[in-house]
Amino acid sequence: MLDVAIIGCGVVGAAAAYELSHYPLHVAVLEAENDVADGTTKANSAILHAGYDPEPGTQMARLNVQGVALAKEICARLDVPYRQCGSLVLALSQAELPHLKKLYANGVANGVPGIRLLTAEETLAMEPQLAPTVAGALFAPSAAIVSPWEFALAMAEVAVRNGVELYRSTPVTNIEKIDGGWQLTTPNGSFAARYVVNAAGLNAQAIHEMAAPHTFTLEPTRGEYYLLDKSEGNRVNHVIFQCPNENGKGVLVTPTVHGNLLVGPNAQPVAGDDTACTADGLAFVAATARRSVPGIRFGESIRNFAGVRANVDTGDFVIGETDGAPGFIDLAGMKSPGLSSAPAVAKEVTKILAAHNDLPESKTDYKDGRTRVRFKELPPEQKAELIAKNPAYGRVICRCETITEGEILDALQSEIPAVSIDGVKRRCNAGMGRCQGGFCGPRVLELISKTRGIDPLDVLQDKAGTNVLLCETKTGRGCNHG
Ligand SMILES: Cc1cc2nc3c(=O)[nH]c(=O)nc-3n(C[C@H](O)[C@H](O)[C@H](O)COP(=O)(O)OP(=O)(O)OC[C@H]3O[C@@H](n4cnc5c(N)ncnc54)[C@H](O)[C@@H]3O)c2cc1C
């Protein structure tokens, strides 16, 4: 029997796995998709929020502030792209200034370090591209931008290195109480575990209700984005928020750790994980963003995408052991700031195990740390050394992002190897540039096929069923695929 089964490997499940892997426990992560963090964690604003938004006294307030500090350390340790650029919440009129004071008071109560209110002049001096109507701002220097996907991957990789078992393409379809724990059913067999951690994101309500009576309702709310080319990447230097409203933190404009500009999201209630982008939604995002940064050139957009928030009717994260279901731990309702809070949320799991006297002493031989080659960032002599050792680093495959064959092979042979073209993209950025994989996609497909020893027809763009190439013989229409 497993000690702990974690359902879902988004940033919350990955953080729980990383935290638990520090202890001599038998832990498995069961993930429905063929890769880690293929849900909300891959499509959000990528901000480690400072923590002035949540109401003081909530789980969100406490875990956000703790989580951001932990995330900073983890990103440094695990070589995850992270930049503490700070954030500004703008008052776009005199009428909005009281709102900034309320956020400031929240921030002080929540223990957010270094926040201060700025005058209009101070704000415009920091960000000259802002609308001249700006009346003031709340500055939070601890806010940061991150690669959310790599953050989750890095924690999952180190967890796996330290003995956590990761089962991909393994959706949990049923949960039953058994003597001393729980039995989880999946298409890949059953798993018995003393503790179950429900980190299933938008599916967390359904998973909860497999084990216990209804206690919370998720209210999926979609947010749509523009990702702009690097030519717009320096438009602003901080994360630029508007005053939040009943729909959340509003439309923001932010640099990304990869050097692009990200603009969004709106807030649209949807059924389930509907990540479609809509003309109306994007028009709203562009018009609203221009209120804070009028000069954004949306013609430089290289991609639109959407993510779905696991908003919840309780108004706060749902964290803890469920009444009447001993050993069943919810990490649910992980709406924003769920990314920022994830490492602190993970520590709640170890606290629960400790309260049951089920947390052993931590391992003394833990294998922490992680690095990956980012060829284009290396000085010339290190590039030459690397190519001499492995000529694959001398062949540039993704011309937009200058990603080499060596880095793509690293992605395909890592601790949690990529199994799709998008899996490669997320691991090493090949295909992330302005052509969005138009040039390098076929070469990446070939490398996946060779490295994994699979037919090119079986190479996926992303999730199961997204095969890139079609052969008519397979569909009974008689082409001559050889
Ligand atoms: C538009 C938007 C903007 C946001 N911006 C920010 C931000 O800037 N900062 C911030 O802190 N937070 C932000 N958030 C929130 C943040 O993205 C989430 O809190 C976080 O990603 C949630 O992670 P998770 O692991 O709970 O969920 P997910 O990433 O969705 O992971 C859940 C995983 O569970 C798996 N799963 C589901 N069902 C099953 C099953 N039956 N069996 C096995 N596995 C299953 C899924 O495949 C998925 O991989 C934003 C969210 C959205 C949508």
Give yes or no on whether 1-82+145-217+313-371 and 375-458 have one common fold. Answer: no
How much distance in Å is there from the Cα of 12 to the middle of ligand 1? Answer: 7
Ligand 1 contacts CB of residue 12 (under 6 A): yes
Residue 151's SS3 state is: helix
So what's the pLDDT on residue 225?
A: 98
| 3-state secondary structure at position 305 | strand
| Bridge partner list, 41 | none
Q: What does the pLDDT read at residue 272?
A: 87
CATH superfamily of 1-82+145-217+313-371: FAD/NAD(P)-binding domain (3.50.50.60)
Architecture of domain 375-458: Orthogonal Bundle (1.10)
The CA 273 to ligand 1 mean position distance, Å, reads: 10
Domain boundaries, the chain: 1-82+145-217+313-371, 375-458
171 lines ligand 1 (CB under 6 A): yes
Q: Which token pair is 466?
A: 């997204």
Atom number in ligand 1 closest to CA 47: 8
The verdict on the CB of residue 340 being under 6 Å from ligand 1 is yes
Residue 332 alpha carbon, nearest atom of ligand 1: 26
CA of 199 to the centre of ligand 1 (A): 9
Question: What is the per-residue DSSP string for 277-302?
Answer: --HHHHHHHHHHHHHH-TT--GGGEE
Return the best residue to mutate from 172, 207, 270, 339 for the ligand 1 pocket (most ligand atoms within 8 A of CB): 339
pLDDT at 475: 54
Kindly state the tokens that stand for 242: 């508007």
DSSP 391: G
**Closest ligand 1 atom to Cα of 206:** 41
Active-site residue, 99 included: no
Ligand 1 site-directed mutation target among 29, 34, 44, 205, most atoms within 8 Å of CB: 44
pLDDT at site 473: 59
CA atoms within 13 A on the CB side of 309: 25
Please report the atom of ligand 1 found closest to the CA of residue 30.
43
| Residue 53, CA atoms < 13 Å, CB-side half-sphere | 29
Q: Is the CB of 145 under 6 A from ligand 1?
A: no
SS3 content of the chain, % helix, strand, coil (to 5): 35, 25, 40
* Cross-strand bridge partners of residue 48: 144
Report d(CA 175, CA 435) in Å as an integer: 44
Q: What do you get for the CA distance between the two ends of the chain, in Å?
A: 47
* Contact criterion met (CB below 8 Å) for 47 and 239: yes
Q: Give pLDDT < 70 ranges for the chain.
A: 246-248, 472-482
Indicate the Cα dihedral angle 173, 176, 179, 182, nearest 10°.
Answer: 40
State pLDDT tens for residues 348-375: 999 999 999 999 999 999 999 999 999 9
**Phi/psi zone of residue 194: left (φ > 0), alpha (ψ -120 to 50 degrees), beta?**
alpha
Model pLDDT, residue 374? 97
Between strands 144-146 and 82-83, the pairing is antiparallel
- Ligand 1 in reach of 32 Cβ (< 6 A): yes
